[in-house]
Amino acid sequence: MSSLPPPQEPLAFVRIPKAKVWGGERLAERLGVRTADGPLGETWELSDYPGEETAIRGGAWDGRTLRELMDEHGAAVLGASRPSADGRFPLLVKFIDAGDDLSVQIHPPDGPKSPTGVGKTEAWYVLDGAPDASLICGLKPGTTREAFEAAAGGPGVREFLHELSVRRGDCVLVPAGQTHAIRRGTVLCEVQQTSDVTYRMYDWDRVGLDGKPRETHLEQALEVVDWSLPPAEPVRAEFVGGPGLQSEPLVACPYFELRALRAGEQGGEVRTEGRASVLSVVGGAGRIEPLPGSTFAPRDLRFGDVLLLPATLEGVTLRALGAAGLEVLQAVAL
């Protein structure tokens, strides 16, 4: 296939839907996506993970994968952003619908404790939740290693888990080494390192979609617990309204930083500042347009749209279509 020049436009992708035993119905309804294998648990919206690379949708790179783009123009796409330890695009973006509780689990850090060498730090942005929605993220203060390790593989682990109430717009950072679980009734957007290594401690004694007990990885999980991490608390952006574009910081880690954007009908500019970033539409409707000097075609935006802004692009303009505003989560690769 002939080489193409580095992209000078926002890139959309073909999502990859995934059935999960804990999946729900709300995300399927909002996105119009179903799976034949079971309830929709998550969609991979942008991925360079081996074997799960998302294909570009539209534009000059239509039909090519993110992996092909990185192979040909990785340095240009990333700019000042760093690739993952294995040379991949460093961010993976998902939507998750927890119709039931996800397992009590943990992810390893970069290095030898991960079978791929790449760890998994992630962040959750809550899109919807039941009135009593909650997340597990961290251990209660005073938890001892001896007591936790004795209970981690069974229902007694609940005694030691830090559970926090959440609502739409809350954001939680989950570093590698942090024990966590997404509780039933929560829909969220997840931004993470490009990794799929998960060690389950306890899975609520349920069976998988194949009718068999799901595998757990207690020994590996306990080896990567970071006992120095405090329990997490949610943060949120508080917007004051207005016709322009507001940008508020949420969380940051060595791999990415997240910002909440809210555009009114007048809109405003989002600059890449020489780094790759990903825009995920999490509310409202709007439009993405080129800055002066850029030539890509404007496009309408709706919930669930995820776009990569390569570092080759100076920036874009976001504006709302309608008084409800446009809400976007921006993940900047560091």
Q: Which of 200, 259, 275, 319 is catalytic?
A: 200
Q: Which residue has the tokens 């959309």?
A: 12
d(CA 202, CA 158): 10
d(CA 195, CA 207): 24
Q: Is 105 helix (H, G, I), strand (E, B) or coil?
A: strand
State CA 223 to chain mean position distance: 25
d(CA 218, CA 61): 43
Close Cβ partners of 16 (under 8 Å, ≥ 6 residues apart): 43, 44, 47, 52, 54
Q: Which two three-digit tokens encode residue 141?
A: 């203060």
Instruction: Find the helix or strand (DSSP H, E) in which 151 lies.
Output: helix 145-151
Q: Which residue has the tokens 């119009």?
A: 32
Half-sphere exposure of 164 (CA within 13 A, CB side): 20
Task: Pick the closest to residue 280 from 7, 10, 8, 9 (CA basis).
Answer: 10
Q: Which two three-digit tokens encode residue 34?
A: 């179903």
| 200 assigned to active site | yes
Please, what's the largest Cα pairwise distance for the chain? 62
d(CA 31, CA 302): 10
Catalytically active residues, by annotation: 200
